[in-house]
Every structure is written in structure tokens, then in C-alpha cells.
A and B are shown apart, each in its own frame.
Chain A
Amino acid sequence: MRTYDVVIVGGGVVGCAIARRLSLTRATVALLEAASDVGEGASKGNSGIATCGAETTPGTLESELILASAHGWEALCAALDTPFERIGTLSLALTADEEARLPHMLAEAKANGVAAEIVSGAEARRLEPLVTPDVRAALHVPGDGIIDPIRLTVGYAELAARNGADIRRSTRVTGAQRDGDRVTVLDTTAGPVGARFVVNAAGVEADTVAALAGGAELSSWPRHGQAWLLDRELGRHFAKSVGGIPDEVTRGVYVTPTTNRSVLVGPTARNHDDRDDRRTDAETLDAIMERGRRLVPSIAPERAIKVFAANRPAGDPVYRVERDATIANLVHAAAIRSTGVSSSPAVAELVRALLEEAGAPVGEDRPDATLALLPLPRLLGHPHPEALVAVDPRYGQVICACEQVTAAEIAAAFAMRVPPRTLDAVRKRTRATGGRCQGAFCQAGVSFLCSAYGGMRPEEVWPA
């Protein structure tokens, strides 16, 4: 059994961010993820907006952590080969009531130290010509950005692995052994793992992990959200992320381009108690589409590529980033709700500080730590495809025509330290099968490459 200085439970965006941060120190680090890949929970269904914190409640931990993360996205994403664009958001007021709420939203942004402005309907339409002509006014937050939450999660994990962290997937924590007020061993589906310190970043399962470790009770529940993904042909015309005005219950839906230029419409937010429920239903989806069309009339269900659902970890209180009250070597990073992406860098830094306080050897960064991943060029949108082919002729072999993903890019995914082990994991890293045909013409080819590059037998790719 191997023993690590720090074992992180949970491979979502938060857990992987922590893994990356700790991997820069002298501590030995392991990350345990129950699913076959990192980023399979809430992080996979994230709407891809890295908010700069305009709408968080000032003075809360959530607000502080988002604000601390907001300025660093360009540099961090460059280091993690993750797409990020600071395009800004427009929250549209369509009624007199909504318009009346704008000054409060502006004041909240200012209290958070975030640049924001109220713009007229005409100015909103100038900033984003696709918004409804019925827009009366809007809150413009230029510091918000769009990000690929999955590439971010994988990027965090990959950099952690390059720095020696052990990213263990298909490893579910089933129990814990203690010695007094310290956890010593985590029992998992892949055998026992020794731990001098434990971080609970288990998302929707954070309460389960807290209980297994014998820690203080964590109140958390899944918050279900559904969304549409629309064609990239629509998304390329967008200049801004567009949203409505939040009310007491929900933030409302976004109509936002993603970094691969599809359009995300959603998400909804419904508290429930089935953490494995990731169902979509027509009624909810139709309601989302209707709300979306009120903001951007040109979207339509006919342009849908995909619909999906995910559960965010809600809790009371939210943002439990703290040392456990009873277990001396346990730190929680739980109930992060829907802003896990936006706060991940600062959450990771805070967890490091809490671990240091608890006595973990995470106080000093190694001078020889790897700080950046080499960016992988991709064919889609590349200005000089001839240059790509000159470097690697496999850029000439387009495997997924809808997203223009080449054999070179798929091979690179399999050469990662955290390589794909399923077709969906290939899609998360490369976009292959994620386009409008949803793999109709490339899924067979991609699964062949899973065998050729990844050594997976066909029965492993297609268990029947």
C-alpha cells in the first residue's frame, strides 16, 4: 500500500485544481476519482462561464475566492492549454421590473470591486446584435469570460501528473481507517491508500466522504441542471454571453457561446435527492428554450446538437472550504455549487494554506516544478494548416469531420499522462464525436483509434 502526504478525494475541477497546486510543492500527492475519468460530475455539465464575481454576495467566501481567481485566467489557461476568452456578459432586462433591479446589481458588482455598467437597450444591441430587440437595458460585465471547463479540469490533472501526482481513476472511496483523530488509510475499490492528510473535494458525494472519514456532518444535496447545446454555426456569430436578470429562485438561463463555439442554453436549477439522476426531459428543455429565445430570438431547437444534465453540489452553508472540526488531518472543499470553475484557482490556494496550517509539507514550491503544458495545435480554425501538416502529417488525417479533429490530436490525447479510457474521454480532450453528427461518421473510427493508440480491446470500448 502506498502512502501519500496528501490524498485528494474527487477529480472534478476543484479536486484537480488542488492536485495541480499541491503538485508544485514537495508533498507526494494522489487524487482518487470514482469515475473512469476526471471531470465526470458537475464539472462536465458546467456552463463554461468564468465569472469575475459581479453577482456574488459581497463579503462571502465564495465572493472572495472568485474575485481572487478572476484576474489570472489568461495566464493560467495559457499554461494549461485551455481555451478562455474574456468576452463579457450582458444580463438583459426585458421588463420594467427587471430594469428596476439593474441598479442593485450594479451596486453589488461595485461592492465586489468588479467593473460593470448599465447600458441602454440600443447599446446592448450594439454590443451583441443577436439580443432581442425588446431589450430595455442591460448590465454589462466585461470581465466575465468563457472557458472550457473540461479542458481546464483535464489540464489541471495533466499538469499535476507531470509533476508526479498520482491521478487514480476508477477508484471510489468506500471507507476510512483512523488512528485517534486522524485518518490514516482510505479504503477504495482499487485497494487501500495511505494518507497523511486528506482533502474532501468529492462534489455531490462530499457528504458521503465526510461521513466515511468520521468527520463533521456536511449537508449537501444535488442541484440538477439541464441544458441544450446548439450548433457551432450559430455560436460563431456571438460576441457576448447573454443572460437574463436573476430572481429570488434562480440565476436564470444563459444563452452563451462556448469556447468551441457551440451555444449553451441553460442551465436550470432544481434541488432533488437523486445524485445519480442526470435525466433530461422534454418539458424542462422546452421551457429552457423558450426562456432562451426571449433573450436571443434566433436560437431554435432545430439547431440542437445535444442536450444534457448534470448535478451541482449545493449545500447549506455553501463553500465549505475549511478544516474539519473533528478530524485533524481532513480539509474540505465542498458545497462549491455552480462556481467551481470560477473559483478553482483560489480554492486550491486556500486549501494549500489550510493543509500547511494542519502540518502538511505543502509550504514550499519546488524550483524544478513544471508550470505549463505544451499547447497542442488543433486543425479547427487554424490559420496555417500547411504548417501543421509539416510538423506532423497526421494533421492531414481528419477523423471527426464535424469538429475537424485529426489523428494527430487524438494520438496526442492518448500520449497524455491522464489519457482517455472511454470514447467520451476522447471527446472531452479532442472534441471528436462532439459535433453536430454526434459521432455518426466517426465514432467507429475513433473507437478503432482507442484500440490502436490506447491499447483498449474493442470489448472494452463497447462492453456488450
Chain B
Amino acid sequence: MRVRSPIGDLPFRVTGIRRDGRELVILGELGAWRSEVRVGAGDVKAVAQLAVDGVRKRLTR
């Protein structure tokens, strides 16, 4: 994976995944920096909505 950041492009490498309560925690490395991405129910919903909107746009073109 690749992340565009204010200090340039950085590779994101997933090193693990765990659950923390109702959140999914994706453990990773942003280059040498330890990083984690926390995904909650609201985030999943938002991403799903974007995907649905995208599909809808294509179908109605």
C-alpha cells in the first residue's frame, strides 16, 4: 500500500490486525514509523456508502 503524506509518498506495510472492542486495528509500518489504522463501524459504513455511490454513478451514466 502507498500513502500520500505532507512529507511525500510513503509505503504502508500491514504487519498485523487485531480487534479492540468494536474497532478493527490494522497495525502497520509507514516506512520505519510504526503506525496503526483504527476502523470503526462508522468508518466501514462511510466507505461502503462511497462504494455504493460510485456504483450508482456508473449505472446512471
Contact = CB atoms under 8 A, between A and B. Distances in A.
- The reply to whether chain A is a binding partner of chain B is yes
Contacts of A445: 6-7
Contacts of A448: 5-6
| Chain B facing A: main interface SS | loop
Nearest to A445: B6
B30 to A, nearest CB: 13
A286 to B, nearest CB: 37
Interface in A399-449: 444-445, 447-448
Contacts, number: 7
B8 to A, nearest CB: 9
A41 to B, nearest CB: 31
Nearest to B5: A448
Contacts of B6: 444-445, 447-448
A80 to B, nearest CB: 32
Interface string B5-20: 1110000000000000
Nearest to B7: A445
A447 B5 CA distance: 12
Contacts of A444: 6-7
A447 B7 CA distance: 11
Contacts of A447: 6
A444 B6 CA distance: 5
A445 B5 CA distance: 9
Interface in B1-43: 5-7
A448 B7 CA distance: 10
A121 to B, nearest CB: 51
A445 B6 CA distance: 5
A444 B8 CA distance: 10
A351 B37 CA distance: 54
A448 B5 CA distance: 9
A184 B5 CA distance: 51
A129 B5 CA distance: 47
7 contacts: A444-B6, A444-B7, A445-B6, A445-B7, A447-B6, A448-B5, A448-B6
Interface of B: 5-7
In the A-B complex, the 7 residue pairs with the smallest Cβ-Cβ separation, listed nearest first, are A448-B6, A444-B6, A445-B6, A445-B7, A444-B7, A447-B6, A448-B5
